[in-house]
């Protein structure tokens, strides 16, 4: 299949970025679907394609779909697409809660097509290099991953679906923490999480005096905010590797997207914000010494690389071996356990 016909379901901001990347590939962007009129009109004007208020006519015209709707509607559209035999790239998280994620996974197992989850951070060039070094054993045995995705002030538009628990399924943990959890488990080559201890907080988004310099979307005030704006967690994996997590939309500290990987023979720092990778090791040759190595890569858009992997799998007629629905469920289970741990006030065994 040399020319893949692709549609997009959910025509918000991220859909435009996906569409911009798609038009630079060998795939053909056929059209888009959204229940709201304004996004359809804007998308049609920008990309010159048909748009629809329902999925059926779009599904009739395509081989594969990208789903970028609010989280609560992932299940409806993903399951419908899978039942039609389409291949699906579904933006993170897999769903708004664990039950919905497991229903999506069940539909994917029964389908002739496949589902790939949009964990685009895995496709950053520096992460590709780091994963290669880890696979080669250069860092030895990974013992701990420190995962940070923290904004100083970055609550999305209060009153939007991002800040509504019923639609998003959570706040900063679901929006940003999902990237951090997935990337940490990917770098740890996770054998499975066995215990989770976590705390979620809502300290800024529900305040009338929330101060910020800029905001994605319009601020409709604290009444539209009923989710967490930060979370801290500690994970223990089946091989005794550990993961520490810090994620926040708003917090009184500098922002960071740093991921530290600690191994028995070396370590690494991946800065998701800058794309930079630094490797750390030590030796005794000549004299006892410590070495910090900066790795430079070609520039690359992780979303574009993710799309290329998805389209290659569609053409090959076989599911990709990463960003799988199984991995998506594993991440969703961790998010669910962090919320449960917060409610219990103690660790949760998985």
Q: Is CATH 3.40.50.720 what the domain over 5-118 is classified as, yes or no?
A: yes
Q: How far apart are CA 117 and CA 120, in angstroms?
A: 9
**Residue 208: Cβ within 10 Å count:** 7
Beta bridge partners of 146: 244, 260
Conformational region of residue 12, where left means phi above 0, alpha means psi within -120 to 50, and beta covers everything else: beta
Instruction: Choose among 78, 93, 75, 91: nearest CA to 339.
Output: 93
pLDDT score for 30: 96
Q: Assign domain 122-300 one CATH number from 3.40.640.10, 3.40.50.300, 3.30.360.10, 1.10.510.10.
A: 3.30.360.10
pLDDT score for 2: 57
pLDDT score for 24: 86
Q: How far apart are CA 261 and CA 241, in angstroms?
A: 11
pLDDT score for 207: 97
**Residue in the block written with tokens 């951090």:** 180
Domain extents for the chain? 5-118, 122-300
pLDDT score for 205: 97
Q: What is the pLDDT along the chain (350 residues), one digit of tens a residue?
A: 558 999 999 999 899 999 999 988 889 999 999 999 999 999 999 999 999 999 999 999 999 999 999 999 999 999 999 999 999 999 999 999 999 999 999 999 999 999 999 999 999 999 999 999 999 999 999 999 999 999 999 999 999 999 999 999 999 999 999 999 999 999 999 999 999 999 999 999 999 999 999 999 999 999 989 999 999 999 999 999 999 999 999 999 999 999 999 999 999 999 999 999 999 999 999 999 999 999 999 999 999 999 999 999 999 999 999 999 999 999 999 999 999 999 999 999 99
Q: How far apart are CA 305 and CA 303, in angstroms?
A: 6
Stated pTM of the model? 0.96
Q: Where is 14: in which H helix or E strand?
A: helix 13-22
């Amino acid at each position: 299949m040399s020319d893949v016909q692709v549609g997009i379901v959910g025509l918000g901001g991220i859909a435009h970025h996906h569409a911009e990347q798609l038009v630079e590939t060998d795939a053909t962007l056929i059209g888009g679907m959204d229940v709201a009129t304004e996004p359809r009109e804007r998308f049609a004007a920008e990309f010159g394609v048909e748009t629809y208020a329902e999925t059926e006519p779009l599904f009739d015209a395509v081989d594969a779909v990208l789903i970028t709707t609010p989280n609560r509607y992932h299940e409806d559209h993903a399951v419908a697409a899978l039942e039609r035999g389409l291949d699906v790239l579904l933006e993170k998280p897999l769903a708004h809660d664990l039950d919905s994620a497991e229903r999506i996974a069940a539909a994917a197992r029964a389908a002739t097509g496949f589902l790939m989850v949009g964990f685009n951070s895995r496709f950053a060039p520096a992460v590709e290099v780091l994963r290669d070094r880890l696979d080669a054993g250069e860092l030895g045995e990974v013992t701990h991953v420190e995962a940070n995705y923290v904004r100083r002030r970055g609550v999305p538009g209060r009153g939007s679906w991002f800040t509504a628990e019923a639609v998003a399924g959570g706040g900063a943990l679901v929006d940003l923490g999902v990237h951090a959890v997935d990337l940490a488990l990917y770098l740890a080559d996770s054998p499975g999480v066995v215990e989770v201890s976590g705390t979620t907080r809502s300290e800024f988004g529900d305040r009338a005096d929330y101060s910020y310099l800029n905001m994605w979307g319009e601020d409709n005030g604290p009444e539209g905010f009923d989710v967490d704006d930060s979370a801290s967690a500690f994970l223990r994996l089946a091989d005794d590797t550990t993961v520490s997590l810090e994620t926040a939309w708003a917090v009184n500290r500098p922002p960071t997207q740093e991921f530290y990987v600690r191994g028995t023979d070396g370590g690494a720092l991946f800065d998701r914000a800058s794309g930079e990778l630094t490797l750390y090791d030590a030796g005794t040759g000549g004299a006892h010494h410590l070495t910090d190595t900066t790795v430079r890569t070609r520039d690359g858009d992780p979303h574009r690389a993710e799309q290329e992997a998805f389209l290659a799998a569609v053409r090959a007629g076989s599911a990709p071996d990463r960003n799988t629905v199984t991995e998506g469920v594993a991440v969703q289970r961790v998010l669910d356990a962090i919320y449960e741990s917060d409610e219990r006030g103690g660790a949760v065994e998985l």
